[in-house]
Structure 1
Amino acid sequence: MTMDLFTLDAEVRTDLGKGASRRLRHANKVPAIVYGAGKEPVSITLAHNKVFRAQEEEAFYSHVLTLNIGKEAVEVVIKDMQRHPFKPQIMHMDFLRVDAKKELNTLVPLHFINEDVVAKTGAIVAHSATEIEVACLPADLPEFIEVDVKDLEIGQTIHLSDIVLPKGVTSVELAKGEDHDQAVVTASAPKGGSDDNGAADEEADSEETTEE
Structure 2
Amino acid sequence: MDRAFFERPASAVAPLLIGARLLFEGVGGMIVETEAYEPQDAASHSFRGPTPRNRAMFGPAGHAYVYRSYGIHWCLNIVCEPGSAVLLRALAPETGLETMAARRGDVAPALFCAGPGRLCQALGITIAEDGADMLSSPFTLVASDAVADVQTGPRIGISRDMDRPWRFGLRGSRLLSRRFPNSQPMAAAAGQDTGAD
TM-score by length of 2: 0.25
Larger radius of gyration: 1
- Bigger strand share: 1
Query: Greater share of helix residues, 1 or 2?
Result: 1
